[in-house]
Structures are given as structure tokens and as C-alpha cells.
A and B are shown apart, each in its own frame.
Chain A
Amino acid sequence: MRLESPRPLPALFELPDEPERQECWGRLLALDAFGATLLCQARVDKGARLRLRFDLPGGERIERLEGDARAVKRDYDGYSEVRLLWRLSAEKERLGRALLHIFVSSV
């Protein structure tokens, strides 16, 4: 299933392994039940663990969703495009159900 949004989803994230870093923000260019692609100004290294918070279309809030940065590309503007893979958690299951719900209600 694939849904497209006219505007990438804003998201906040923090790096649990680097508590000295402040909370950052970015946009989710792609989102599915297994992972996401995050575009952000903050520098993210490959292998980093991110904890995300964002609101799905419809208002459902996803919090403390953790993912691992499996691939990171730095674009010409200095932005990091991070391919995230969700870690197993109850929040991941909730995201999967929420996305399915959005898909079902939009078709």
C-alpha cells in the first residue's frame, strides 16, 4: 500500500545515545510500517538510533518510536537523508495499525 501526501510529514527526533544533543526536527519523505526516510538539517550518522515523535494525518500522535539509521546520505544543501528501520516495539505495531487505518479510510 502506498499513499502520497502533498507535504512531507514534520517530525521531531532525539538521539538516545547522545543525550547531550537537543531535540531536532525534520520531515518524513516516506513512511511505512517498517521504516521511514527522514530529511533533516541535523547531522545524523549511519547506525545512529533515533527516537521520533510525529502526528499522523488525522491527528494520531506517534511517540517514542525508535529506529536505526541504516543509510545516510548528505545532499548538496547539507541535509541528511536518513533511511530508518523501526525497532521492534509496541509503538511500531501501533504505527502499522494506524497506517493501515489511514489506507483503508482513503480508498
Chain B
Amino acid sequence: MAVIALLAKDDAVRRELQLAVEELGHRAAPAADLKGGLELLSAERPRVMLVAQDPADDVAESMLFELEREAPLTPVVVALTRRSAPRALELLKAGAHEVVSAPFSAQSLRGALSKAARWRGTWYEEPRPAAPAETARALGVWALAALLLFAAAAGGVGYYRHRQRVLAGAIPAPAREWDLPYGHAAGLAYDGTHVWVSDWFSATVFRHEPGTMRVVGSATLPREVPGAMAFAGGGLLVASAPRTIVRHMLDEKLSVLARTDDSAAQSVGMAYDGLYLWTCDAKKGRLYKRVLDGDLTPAASFAYPGVRPAALAFDGRRLWSFDAGTKELLRHDLDDPRRVMLRLPLAEYSSGDWSPVGLAYDGRRFLSAATRRRGGVSESRLFAHELSSELAESLERP
């Protein structure tokens, strides 16, 4: 708060200015004439002299003349009761610190009085913060710049990592996993609505809801040791030890339709591409392409291009296998499955704890079933392997 000497001949103007000054938090010391104003200098020691006058008057110049002798460092702010730019220029040239014009209000006086109250005889003033709007704008600019810098850095790091992964030929996907309530999973299939898992020890096929993987149904196959599974020809094909493939109806009990001796060795993986049934033999390391007739006649067989096939799946366009030796998913050329078109390492298998037993594709991600033995107890787990958008797009391309 500063003391502002207020010199105004007109009572109404003086009251108006006094209200405005006090509204700004200063104390106004009013005077009606030059003599009274000069008396205030010694009585009140005002920080600023505010002189109101008509442009035609010269009381401000008289005050400036007197102040030159009495208090040369007291700034004079002139309040013109009528706006007159030429007169304002004259007053400024005569030594007024600032000139303001009617109408008077706290708002119109704030800047001039604030500057005058801080004036110490020089126009070099200590730095003050910028106007709030400018400060906010500056902060906004800095925040935006920081955000852009951060985004650019994050993007750069992300792009670098992506390039590294692409160069390494692999785009590992984050996996979700569920422990299964049974310990001897042996096969996996997806029918479009549910995930099916076979458990050889309990001779049961379990049906899981694909979101939470909770069990929503099961069917026991008392005369089978179920392993690999595939949906084909309106039924469920289950490879059963020893060397049998059983066709089941898709009813509640999975009633048996037919049993076929497996002419090849024990099939550990099975997938149906809409025309042929594909099976794989882990011991011989071969892939079989079978006609879906009564004997599931092998139309062709191919040497497996990986180490040890553990499961097969069909994504709608390509055949995939799970190589238990390298812990990779292999995408095969359907015309010649010895040609591997893509290898996809699965990090969750890299520790070697889990052995893959089943593979399925649900339209947007791969699902795999695995088992492990710990402390003499077998455990089963389901993994969901989300695909990166680039890979998912590439799978859609012919």
C-alpha cells in the first residue's frame, strides 16, 4: 500500500479518483488546490502525486515546477478530465510520469499508479513478472515444447526398438496366461466361439470361454487318451493314443462317429485348412497332408523345416506350427510347407519351463497350451499371444 497524494479542484473528480485509488489498496491523501497538495508532501510523504485537471488548466505544470524543488523524485501522474493527446504529450514532455484520461476507474489507474509507485528516479526498473496472460502463454509454450520433445524422444525410442525387433526377425507380443485346473493338457482347438483343450490324464475335453478362459463345459472320452484336436467336417477330430484319430459329433457328450487307425506315427499336432487335414509327427519330424476321407489318407508328407513340431494351427490363410525345439511359431507355405515364411519367437517359452502341446488361432491372436512338471506335479497353462498391428495386417494380406 502506498500513499497517493490526490490533487483535484473539482469535488466530484476528487471523490471519483479517491474511490479508485482506495479500491487499488492505496491510501489517498486528497487536496483541493496546489497549496494543499504541497502541504501533503511534508505531512504525508506521498509516493505518488496524482493531479487531476482539465487539459486547458496548468496546475500539473505548476506542481511539477514546485516538486522540482521540493521532492524531485516524486512522480506525477496527471489525470486529464477530458482526453487530449496533444496535451498529454505536452505534460509528458514537461516531466509528468504518466498521463491518464477520463473515465477514471481502478482498472484505468492501476498500471500507471503501479509503475509510478515503483519509480525511483530512473526508468531502469527491476524486472517484474510478465502479465499473467503472458506467463500462462509462456508456460503453455514450454509445456507444449516439453511434451513434443518427450513425444519425439518416446517415438524415437519406440521406433528404434521396433526396428531392432524387425531386424531381429521377431516381434514378440505381450502374452496373457491362465493356469488351467487340470495338469495334463495335450491339445488345443478353437471353434469360433470357445477354446477347447484336451487333457490326456483325465481323458476329458474342456470347453473354455475365450475371454476369461473359465471352463464352461467338458466331455469325458472314456476310451481315449486325447491329444491333438481340430475341427473339421462338422465334427471334432481328436488324435488319441495309441495311433488313432477319432471323429466326434459336436454334441454335449462328443459322441464318437468313427475311429481311424493313424497310418502315420502318433500325431501331436492337427489343423484343418478347409480342404486338407494337416498332422505332424514329432518323432519322425514330418508334416502330413491328409484327405478328409474315411481313412484320412495322407496325400503328401513333408520333412518338418524346424526342429521338433509340437502343434499345428491354421489362421485362415496359412499353416502354422509350433517348433518345440526353437520355441518359435513357424508360418508355412501351404503349397510347400518346407518353406518357412515367418518365424515368431515366443518369449514366454524361452525359459524352457513350459512345453507346448497345442496351438490355435482365434482371429486376432494365437493361443497356446503348455505343460510343465514341477515337484512331480504336472501343470497346464494357456497363453494368449497378442500380435502387433503390423503382423496382424500382414496376416490379413494374401
Q: Which A residues are within 8 Å of any B CB, using their own CB? A: 6-8, 10-12, 22-25, 27, 29, 41, 53-55, 73-79
- A75 to chain B: which residues have CB within 8 Å? 128, 130-131
**Interface residues of chain B: helix, strand, loop or mixed (majority):** helix
CB of A100 to closest CB in B, whole Å = 23
Measured between C-beta atoms, what is the minimum distance from B130 to chain A in Å? 6
Shortest distance from the beta carbon of B343 to any chain A beta carbon, whole Å: 59
Chain A contact surface mostly? strand
Distance in angstroms from B230 CB to nearest chain A CB is 72
How far, in Å, is B97 (CB) from chain A's closest CB?
A: 10
- Of B82-90, B308-316, B347-355, the segment with at least 4 beta carbons within 8 Å of chain A is B82-90
Do B85 and A23 have beta carbons less than 8 Å apart? Answer: yes
| B interface residue count range (under 10 / 10 to 19 / 20 to 34 / 35 or more) | 20 to 34
Find out whether the CB atom of A73 lies under 8 angstroms from the CB atom of B92: no
Residues in chain B near residue A77, CB distance under 8 A:
110-112, 114-115, 128
Question: Does B374 interact with chain A (Cβ within 8 Å)?
Answer: no
Closest chain B residue to A22 by CB distance? B83
A74–B133 CB distance below 8 A: yes
| Residues in A neighbouring B100, C-beta threshold 8 A | 41
**Bound-complex Cα distance A74 to B111 (A):** 11
Given contacts A8-B123, A41-B112, A76 and B131 within 8 Å (CB-CB): yes
Q: If A23-B85, A25-B99, A27-B92 touch, does A7 touch B123 (CB 8 Å cutoff)? A: yes
Please give the distance in Å from B62's CB to the nearest CB on chain A: 19
Contact across chains for A25 and B92 when beta carbons are under 8 A apart: yes
Interface centre among A8, A29, A53, A75 (most CB of B within 10 A): A75
